[in-house]
Amino acid sequence: MSPLDPRASKMRGWLYIAWVFSFFMLAGLFAARRDRTTVSHSKLRSNWFSVSPKWLPFSLQGSDPNVIHEHPIPKLMAEAEQKFKALLAKQSKTFPQAVAEYRRRYGRNPPRGFDDWWEFATQNDVKLIDEFDAIFEDLAPFWSLSGKEFRDRAHEVRFYLTLVVILTQTRMQVGQLPSIDLVRIQDGEAIDFKVQKKFKDQEKGHRSLGFRRLVEKYQHKLPNMDFPINAKAEGRVLVPWEYQQYSNLTYQDSVDDFSPDWQGTGSVWDAYRRTCAPNTQARRLFSSYRNPNAEKPRSLLGTSNTPGESFSFVEAVDVDLDFCQYPWAHFTQGHFFSDWRTMSKLYPVLSPARANGFADIRIPSHYYHGQNSRYTYGWDPVNLEPKEIDDMEVPWDEKSDVIFWRGATTGGGSTPQGFSPNYQRHRFVRMTHDNATANYTIIHESPLNPGTFISTTVPARDLNQEIMDVAFVSAVGSYPGGETALRKAHRFADSVPLGEHWSYKYLIDLDGMGYSGRFMAFMASDSAVIKSTVYKEYFSDWVQPWLHYIPLSSSYSEIYNIYAYFSGPTDSTLRVANTTESLTADINTIRSNGDRQLRQIARAGKQWKRTMGRTVDMEAYIYRLCLEYARLWADDRDAWSFTL
């Protein structure tokens, strides 16, 4: 991009807006913090948006700036399909090819047992048989440790665990574990390493049970080793930048410092900032990143009036969002306010998801392969095998053209308190509220002049009534002003069974305390999934945004234009555009054309779940992870490598 390139100036514009926003956000939030009970909601309602470089500029053509001739969505969909087809086509067909591909990608030999793994993967028809960069990425930092150090660290986590048990018993702090379980492979069998628990552990070890379930088929081929399993949804390992650079530095925290929650001695964000390089924004004092011009363009607070924000589509979800460069963005993410203490030492901890900057090792969430009425599509309580079609599934044409979401107010803890209004779910529920005051620029195909797109500014209130069915079903955690204030500012409704979701064409999947455990169920359904997340999961390289699901930025603000593309302009949009009844036929054409494409995404998502999101794909992933882990565990890693 040259400096004269209009895209470059657009990017600078975005960065500038980001600066301005950071100022207002911080101002609003610090006000909130000072006075928790009388916090003003108008201050907290800042409309945060992403400055991820993936924003796609759209081109305005012709003399009328309100008319565009090319919608970005069909292009994104076509590119996604092409990209995924190419990925499928280039996978290794033979074992020697797979070994060569491994060497090409990672510059070393595959781990011992790779031949057995290949056998397992091909027999089970694993499609993306070369795509395991996620494992390489997650384990890369551990190569700087010797086998002994690696084993010691896995055991140290266990030591933490037993130590805290002792402390817990003596201090009578019932139920406050750091929530790391240990699965041990011993003589070809995966067992839960038992710690004497004389207190109630809230997590009940579901995640370690899930891990054991995934290794069952090949555990007899694995050597003895231990896996520390995170019992929480949140990431746990944040290694300070200096320790990442110099692995010979002696860690300053000692085991004695460890307590399961923060107890007023820090926060996830404090720990996260230390993972950032010294020259990044996150390491600077707050005052140094306030823009002195920030006071001026107050009008920018209503940025929903500018088409740029609500008409910019992301190529992928925000998993690479760099909180070190955009520290203000951390206010929008609940996991930075988690009550659970993170660990600053590079421990091997297996977690269901990993946000940028964390050092957890990804494994498939237990929600994805267990049988659970709340997380499993086609749940069958009798046969305990999910059914192909859920009993509550609805034919496409009978699904309503509505964006549906139900959930609890989970989304982060209370360390520090007072920030929950900006957690992911709270922001979305307020944005889609019937009483929302924003206006959105909706760009939709013109019924008068097909092939061109017109722009109209529509009140959020009207759009929300027409297309959003979004509500909390239960209140947990703290909120400034208490539950009364929470209920006043957010819509609440009765909870629904999972199957109720299948009555809607659009399902939105939002992060909560961590990743969203419902993703696989949503993908399995006949509805289309819109997903916003900052987490990478084991499948992140396997699923293609705009082909299998619709990616949404962390600001959510383009969601109205996503809807307008697939479902056409709503009645209120047409009213603003002065379009008359006589044009109904053309509007129906626009709507059915978009609907066909939406259905295509729903179908592709379902097909993906059936062919690449299966439990056996998760088993293949963990199998390969176990082989890599076993090599790290060994003293002589060359001996634990595979050569043809």
Ligand X SMILES: *[C@@H]1O[C@H](CO)[C@@H](O)[C@H](O)[C@H]1NC(C)=O
Which residues sit at the interface with ligand X, rule CB under 6 A?
Answer: 246, 248-249, 302, 435, 437-439, 456, 459, 488, 577-578
Alpha carbon distance, N-terminus to C-terminus of the chain: 46
Residue type, 214: L
- Beta carbons within 10 angstroms of residue 546's beta carbon: 24
Enclosing H/E stretch for 362: strand 361-362
Beta-sheet pairing, 528-532 with 504-510? parallel
Beta-sheet pairing, 400-408 with 468-474? parallel
CA–CA gap between residue 313 and residue 71 (Å, rounded): 10
CA–CA gap between residue 140 and residue 516 (Å, rounded): 26
| Between 148 and 575, CB nearer to ligand X | 575
CA distances from 155 to 70, 254, 352, 424, 637 (A): 58, 15, 21, 35, 19
- DSSP code for 613: S
CA–CA gap between residue 613 and residue 617 (Å, rounded): 6
Gyration radius of the chain over CA positions: 25
CB of 592 to ligand X, least distance (A): 24
| Between 400 and 435, CB nearer to ligand X | 435
- Beta carbons within 10 angstroms of residue 383's beta carbon: 8
- Beta carbons within 10 angstroms of residue 597's beta carbon: 15
CB of 45 to ligand X, least distance (A): 10
Q: Which residues, in sequence order, are bridge partners of residue 408?
A: 474
CB of 302 to ligand X, least distance (A): 4
CA–CA gap between residue 218 and residue 229 (Å, rounded): 19
CA geometry: angle at 457 spanning 456 and 460, to 5°? 130
CB of 426 to ligand X, least distance (A): 14
| Between 66 and 607, CB nearer to ligand X | 66
| Between 226 and 462, CB nearer to ligand X | 462
What are the strands, taking DSSP E only, across 38-141?
A: 67-68
Beta-sheet pairing, 439-445 with 354-355? unpaired
| Between 177 and 458, CB nearer to ligand X | 458
CB of 465 to ligand X, least distance (A): 11
CB of 458 to ligand X, least distance (A): 9
| Between 246 and 585, CB nearer to ligand X | 246
CB of 448 to ligand X, least distance (A): 10
Supply 144's token pair. Answer: 């700087």
- Of the CA atoms within 13 Å of residue 285, those in its CB half-sphere come to 2
**Over the range 191-226, which residues count as b (16 or more CB within 10 Å of their CB) and which as e?**
eebeeeeeeebebebbbbebbbbbbeebbebbbebb
3-class DSSP assignment, residue 387: coil
| Between 246 and 383, CB nearer to ligand X | 246
CB of 511 to ligand X, least distance (A): 24
CB of 572 to ligand X, least distance (A): 12
Is-contact 135 628, C-beta < 8 A?
Answer: yes
Supply 92's token pair. Answer: 């290794």
3-class DSSP assignment, residue 77: helix
| Between 62 and 302, CB nearer to ligand X | 302
CB of 304 to ligand X, least distance (A): 7
CB of 327 to ligand X, least distance (A): 27
3-class DSSP assignment, residue 409: coil
CB of 315 to ligand X, least distance (A): 29
| Between 427 and 631, CB nearer to ligand X | 427
| Between 170 and 578, CB nearer to ligand X | 578
Supply 37's token pair. Answer: 């009970």
What are the strands, taking DSSP E only, across 415-551?
A: 439-445, 453-459, 468-474, 504-510, 528-532, 535-536, 550-551
CB of 488 to ligand X, least distance (A): 6
Query: Position of tokens 């037993």?
Result: 162
CB of 594 to ligand X, least distance (A): 21
Is-contact 526 505, C-beta < 8 A?
Answer: no
| Between 76 and 346, CB nearer to ligand X | 346
CA–CA gap between residue 596 and residue 310 (Å, rounded): 23
| Between 400 and 437, CB nearer to ligand X | 437
**Over the range 126-161, which residues count as b (16 or more CB within 10 Å of their CB) and which as e?**
bebbebbebbeebbebbeebeeeebbebbebbbebb
| Between 61 and 580, CB nearer to ligand X | 580
CB of 629 to ligand X, least distance (A): 26
| Between 248 and 287, CB nearer to ligand X | 248
